């Protein structure tokens, strides 16, 4: 983990390159605006994938493919996740650094496997179990810091983000057991990087 | 650059200091367990086998702790005030969603008992990756152990979770266990779903209840699942069926056994 963080910091510190910008035509609309790689967050050990950002850059929507190796999860699990993050404020800093101090978002994840259901089999009476085991809705808050750079004469951005999140089944458990469960019992941390093609 | 590395360093330190084993979670259905959370059935049977045996054996039957953690904590407080209890039996539905996290929470509460506890698997414990986690955390789904004059057989009776395919409960295994009783100990069969429940395989109800009735060492048998106290000799065959209620209903049973007899008391907390 430390190794990756170090190389990431190195990457962020790459200075300058050429300073003239944006000579290329605008990219086709369907090409993703960014790629993300995320660690943890109940959607895989590592998850990554493309995403789009709104014109004013406050709303991001990502499609992430996650994998949890058996070594870290006891079971190897593959997950796809659709997530949307709203980061309303941007604070510019020196040297084209910036932070987006607050993000809020939600996701819907699908975990593959014969032991997970979206619809319970017919041998259960209707409503026997009320939740689907394959699909998990979750929500999180977080923040990020980034830097605009120019690489090979193209505008690019790097961002580091963190999220503190939970999901439906844990929220219900918490609401009904505020004596035993504390907020930190149901909230977990995730960390990620975003590479933007601005 | 300096500030970035400072930030990275202090973040890293903060994570290390938090040293919380589930700060990062990878999937709701992950089965990550610390060694101390593994093989609990074997570990707790080892503790039980060290206990002194007296003329009367007293143990607690509780169950259905699913998503009732606050109530389960109150149960532990109440149970710890009982006198001369040797161990606690959990009648299943330890978890509600079959999540490893739930099993860990209940185990955290149950380890505050002054007594060792053993479990039988409930239908909710089989959902999603639940039965895989149960195997790692507790042990086999069917097992038995002896203590004093008594012998306890724990059997998975959650037929619906296996689409009523005839494999659960494993009646052949149960019969073999019943037959393997050279010391003629009292046999106490413990399951989650009682045989008269709609979640029990109708085709196996008769073979199962007959197996119990045909064994003269079986005087009574214990269950959970219906979230109510309930008892009776439902098959007119000399075997008494006792159901304990849920943690949500704030009740449990204290069972006493002695040479030639037994008693069941209901406790509300």
All residues at 6 or more sequence positions from B236 whose CB lies less than 8 Å from its CB, including other chains? none
Q: Do A44 and B160 touch (CB under 8 A)?
A: no
* Phi, psi of A46, rounded to the nearest 5 degrees: -125, 140
Each residue's pLDDT tens digit, B55-98 = 999 999 999 999 999 999 999 999 999 999 999 999 999 999 99
Q: Cα torsion at A118, A121, A127, A132 (round to 10°)?
A: -20
What tens-digit pLDDT sequence spans chain A (198 residues)? 445 544 544 444 444 343 445 445 567 888 999 999 999 999 999 999 999 999 999 999 999 999 999 999 999 999 999 999 999 999 999 999 999 999 999 999 999 999 999 999 999 999 999 999 999 999 999 999 999 999 999 999 999 999 999 999 999 999 999 999 999 999 999 999 999 997
CA-atom Rg of chain A in angstroms: 19
Chain B residues in contact with A173 (beta carbon < 8 A): 67, 69, 96, 102
| Per-residue tokens: A84 | 């949307």
| Per-residue tokens: A1 | 């983990």
Q: Do B30 and A39 touch (CB under 8 A)?
A: no
Q: How far out from the chain centre does Cα A65 lie?
A: 10
Each residue's pLDDT tens digit, B186-222 = 999 999 999 999 999 999 999 999 999 999 999 999 9
* ipTM of this complex prediction, to 2 decimal places: 0.90
Does the pLDDT at position B19 exceed 50?
A: no
Structural contact between residues A154 and A197, judged by C-beta atoms closer than 8 angstroms: yes
Does the pLDDT at position B6 exceed 70?
A: no
Interface of A with B in 104-163 (CB under 8 A): 111, 113, 115-116, 121, 123-124, 129, 131, 133, 136, 145
Q: Do B30 and A133 touch (CB under 8 A)?
A: no
Report how far residue A86's alpha carbon sits from residue A92's, in angstroms, rounded to the nearest whole number: 18
- Residue B54 has what pLDDT? 94
**Domains of chain B by start residue, with CATH:** 31-268 (3.60.21.10)
Each residue's pLDDT tens digit, B227-268 = 999 999 999 999 999 999 999 999 999 999 999 899 999 999
CB-based contact, A68 to chain B, within 8 Å: yes
In order, the DSSP letters of chain B are -HHHHHHHHHHHHHHHHH--TTSS---TT-----GGGSSHHHHHHHHHHTSPP-SSEEEEEE---TT-HHHHHHHHHHHTTSSS--EEEE-S---SS--HHHHHHHHHHHTTSSS-EEE---GGGGTTTHHHHHHHHT--SSEEEEETTEEEEE----GGGGTT-S-SS-HHHHHHHHH--TT--EEEEE-SS-TTSTTS-HHHHHHHHHHHHT-TTEEEEEE-SSSS-EEE-TTSSSPEEEE---TTTTEEEEEEEETTEEEEEEEE-
């Amino acid at each position: 983990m430390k190794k990756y963080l170090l190389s990431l910091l190195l990457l962020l510190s790459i200075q300058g390159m050429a300073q003239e910008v944006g000579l290329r035509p605008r990219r086709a609309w369907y090409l993703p605006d960014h790629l993300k790689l995320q660690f943890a967050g109940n959607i895989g050990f590592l998850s990554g994938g493309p995403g789009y950002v709104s014109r004013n850059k406050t709303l991001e929507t990502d499609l992430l493919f996650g994998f949890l190796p058996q070594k870290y999860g006891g079971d190897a699990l593959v997950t796809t996740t659709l997530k949307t993050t709203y980061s309303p404020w941007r604070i510019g800093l020196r040297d084209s650094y910036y932070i987006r101090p607050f993000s809020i978002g939600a996701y819907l994840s699908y975990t593959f496997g014969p032991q997970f259901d979206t619809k319970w089999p017919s041998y259960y009476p209707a409503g026997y179990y009320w939740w689907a085991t394959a699909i998990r809705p979750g929500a999180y808050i977080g923040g990020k810091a980034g830097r605009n750079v120019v690489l090979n004469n193209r505008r690019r951005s790097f961002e580091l983000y963190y999220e503190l999140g939970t999901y439906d089944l844990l929220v219900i458990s918490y609401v009904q057991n505020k004596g035993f469960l504390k907020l930190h019992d149901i909230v977990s941390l995730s960390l990620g990087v975003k590479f933007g093609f601005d | 650059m300096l500030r970035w590395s400072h930030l990275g360093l202090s973040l890293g330190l903060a994570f290390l200091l938090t040293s919380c084993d589930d700060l990062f979670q990878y999937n709701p259905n992950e089965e990550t367990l610390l060694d101390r959370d593994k093989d609990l059935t074997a570990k707790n049977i080892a503790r039980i086998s060290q206990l002194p045996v007296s003329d009367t054996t007293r143990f607690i039957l509780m169950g259905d702790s699913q998503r009732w953690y606050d109530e389960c904590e109150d149960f532990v407080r109440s149970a710890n005030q009982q006198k001369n209890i040797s161990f606690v039996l959990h009648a299943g539905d330890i978890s509600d969603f079959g999540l490893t996290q739930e099993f860990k929470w209940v185990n955290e509460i149950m380890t505050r008992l002054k007594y060792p506890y053993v479990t039988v698997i409930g239908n909710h414990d089989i959902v999603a990756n639940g039965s895989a986690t149960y195997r790692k955390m507790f042990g086999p789904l069917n097992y038995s152990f002896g203590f004093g004059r008594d012998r306890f057989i724990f059997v998975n009776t959650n037929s619906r979770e296996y689409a009523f395919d005839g494999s659960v409960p494993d009646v052949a295994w149960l019969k073999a266990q019943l037959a393997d009783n050279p010391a003629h100990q009292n046999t106490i069969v413990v399951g989650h779903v009682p045989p008269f429940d709609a979640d029990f395989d109708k085709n196996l109800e008769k073979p199962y209840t007959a197996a119990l009735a045909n064994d003269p060492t079986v005087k009574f048998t214990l269950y959970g699942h219906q979230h109510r106290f309930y008892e009776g000799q439902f098959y007119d065959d000399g075997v008494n069926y006792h159901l304990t209620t849920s943690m949500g209903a704030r009740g449990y049973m204290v069972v006493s056994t002695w040479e030639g007899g037994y008693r069941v008391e209901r406790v509300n907390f």
